[in-house]
Structure 1
Amino acid sequence: MPSRRVLKLTFEFHVPEGLDTNIRSARVDSATDQIVGAVRELAPEAFPWADELTVHREWSYRWLERRPETLPLPATDKNTAPKSAPDHDGGADEGGAAATDEAAPDA
């Protein structure tokens, strides 16, 4: 069964617009191998709790880039926190003692 606890880091290396260089697959693979090797070497010291490293490799052309959008969804009883109720506990603090300005008598 896969672990439910996962540290996920995402790196994107961007080639500048207008850079007139043909970056071939072999060079992309070599660069990826070097970066993965460096992370793998660093991982036992930086994050010693991990027992495996999963690598996702992707080389793509972004012809159209859309920024992530956050869209509100309709409120429901399952996604809305209850509104704070007025304080009707007589001024008791979390320990149950009433809050007063008077000092407690010496015991």
Structure 2
Amino acid sequence: MASPRVLTITFKLRVPPGLPANVRVKRIDTAVASFIAAVRSLAPSVFPWAKSIDVDYTWSYQWLRGNETVLLMPTAENTGDEQTAAAERAMLGVPDAEE
């Protein structure tokens, strides 16, 4: 079975807080169409393996935004070796798994 492969690139265009601009839906639609056209024209030369482009777009007032990194329990698979994993578990106060 072939593995699905996806290249995801995210751009966020931000309007500075307090800027006295009223961005209308027609202008947003025009911007989206322009970016799609630009990516469509660049894709064949910079990433010729792509067959299609999925476009997600949102216009929102971002009153609240959260972002955090959650550490997972270190294992030999995600740290490179068991000695490193044991040291990281000790640092996090996680007891060694019983075998």
TM-score by length of 2: 0.70
1:75 CA displacement: 5.2
Instruction: Call closer, same or farther: CA 1:59–1:77 in 2, change over 3 Å.
Output: same
Alignment-derived partner of residue 83 in structure 2: 83
Question: Aligned with 1:83: secondary structure?
Answer: helix
Identity %: 46
Alignment-derived partner of residue 61 in structure 2: 61
Structure 2 Cα separation of the partners of residues 34 and 78 of structure 1: 43
Indicate the RMSD between aligned Cα atoms, in angstroms. Answer: 2.3
Equivalent position amino acid for 1:65 in 2: R
Structure 2 Cα separation of the partners of residues 76 and 44 of structure 1: 40
Report 1:12-51 matches (<5 A). Answer: 12-51=12-51
Equivalent position amino acid for 1:32 in 2: V
Structure 1 Cα separation of the partners of residues 38 and 74 of structure 2: 46
Q: What residue ranges of structure 1 are gaps of 5+ in the alignment?
A: 85-107
1:65 CA displacement: 2.1
Alignment-derived partner of residue 10 in structure 2: 10
Higher helix proportion (structure 1 or 2): 2
TM-score by length of 1: 0.66
Provide the aligned length of Structure 1 versus Structure 2. 82
Alignment-derived partner of residue 71 in structure 2: 72
Question: Aligned with 2:7: secondary structure?
Answer: coil
Which is higher, the Rg of structure 1 or of structure 2? 1
